[in-house]
Amino acid sequence: MIDLTGVAHRYGDRWVLRDIDLRLDEHRVGVIGANGSGKSTFARLLNGLLLPSDGRVTVDGLDTRKRGREVRRRVGFVFQDPDIQIVMPTVAEDLAFGLRHHGVPKTEIPALVDRALTAYDLAEHRDHPAHLLSGGQKQMLAIAAVLVTEPAHVVFDEPTTLLDLRNKRRVAAVIAGLPQRVVLVTHDLDLLTDFDRVLVFDDTRVAFDGPPDKAIPAYLDLIEP
């Protein structure tokens, strides 16, 4: 599980999160809020991409301040823009990169790459330049490169924002089928209708915490002019 105790974060003199005390132990947790409400900062705290200015974040008992590398092995992170995440020239090489980084034996990597290529409809693009894929294919590659390492938890930071409807549905189907704990930051409220829990961020704090049928109306009330 993921625990946040007394967590706050600031950039310079500007506080973006305050007074966050949460335990995330549900299968699927959604995170919503207006732009600038602290959602993406919150997401980055969950795997140690950011360390809190105050307070403590632990993942399965591992403190992100002290055990950051182990935390990042346990918590996969998918960015909104896949170009940030794709680091190798070809599709297959990008999948293999994460496996090598996680210490997977060299002899096991080809089979794992093949499995991921098939699972995420990328087999035809094995040797294709990764940055020349379509937007939807890039996002699937970014997701596959995270999931191939088999993290225990996966954080998605607005993964459908740059996609057309067809590719949004593909990403939504992948997320729905994951056995891992998922934390999904999104503006696409339709993705959250069957989630276990939704956090609504507003003005640096969690303004509402509950099931989607209550959280989504609470969020809409907050943003109504």
pLDDT in tens, the chain (225 residues): 999 999 999 999 999 999 999 999 999 999 999 988 999 999 999 999 999 999 999 999 999 999 999 999 999 999 999 999 999 999 999 999 989 988 899 999 999 999 999 999 999 999 999 999 999 999 999 999 999 999 999 999 999 988 999 999 999 999 999 999 999 999 999 999 999 999 999 999 999 999 999 999 999 998 876
Instruction: Indicate the Cα dihedral angle 47, 51, 53, 57, nearest 10°.
Output: 40
Report the pLDDT value the prediction gives residue 102, as an integer from 0 to 100. Answer: 87
Closest by Cα among 99, 129, 128, 120 to 111: 99
Strands (E), the chain: 2-11, 14-24, 28-33, 54-59, 62-63, 75-78, 153-157, 181-185, 197-202, 205-210
Locate 109 and state its tokens.
């990597």
5: left (phi over 0), alpha (psi -120 to 50) or beta: beta
- Amino acid at residue number 178: L
Identify whether the C-beta of residue 171 lies closer than 8 Å to the C-beta of residue 160.
yes
Report the pLDDT value the prediction gives residue 158, as an integer from 0 to 100. Answer: 94
User: β-pairing, 2-11 with 54-59?
Assistant: antiparallel
Report the pLDDT value the prediction gives residue 100, as an integer from 0 to 100. Answer: 92
Closest by Cα among 80, 34, 52 to 184: 80
**CA dist., res. 23 & res. 4, Å (int):** 6
Question: What domains, with CATH codes, occur in the chain?
Answer: 2-223 (3.40.50.300)
Predicted TM-score (pTM) of the model is 0.94
